[in-house]
Amino acid sequence: MKQKVQSALDNYVLAYSTNDKDLFLTLWDPSAIFEDPVGAEPCDGIQAISEFWDFGHVEGMTITPTNVKTIICSNEGILQATMEVRNTADNTGMNIAIVDHFVINETGKIISGRAFWDENSISQLADAQPSDINLDDFMNRS
């Protein structure tokens, strides 16, 4: 089971790193629930998770995980990373320090994902304009 969890987390990072929505969606069980950030209305099911991806990947936007660390226990995993958010269309960006908690089913699919980050997790960049995306945008995206 540990290998299935590690594979799901590795492919989650790969999907973001390569901006691959199709790969991202293959990681989730069709009935999965994803809460990003914790406290926001959860994405319930694959369609809502697909819409979440689109929300975070507007034209010119990339989100690249760096400084990735994982911890695996049984069928659960923690992924800690800095999400480097960049928008080449308007030269904006920010970094978000996140801790994700995932539960993986017996087929290796994510059934639950919860992203822990808040306004104190966001840092602005010296080489880009500040992004106007903030925690409220994520909490009220519906």
Domains identified in the chain and CATH numbers:
2-139 (3.10.450.50)
75 pLDDT above the threshold of 80: yes
Distance CA(60)–CA(40), nearest Å, equals: 25
Higher pLDDT, 37 or 92: 37
User: For the purposes of burial, counting CB atoms within 10 Å of the CB of 76, is it exposed (0-12), middle (13-18) or buried (19 or more)?
Assistant: middle
**Contact of 17 with 57, CB cutoff 8 Å:** no
Distance CA(97)–CA(100), nearest Å, equals: 10
Higher pLDDT, 89 or 80: 80
134 pLDDT above the threshold of 80: no
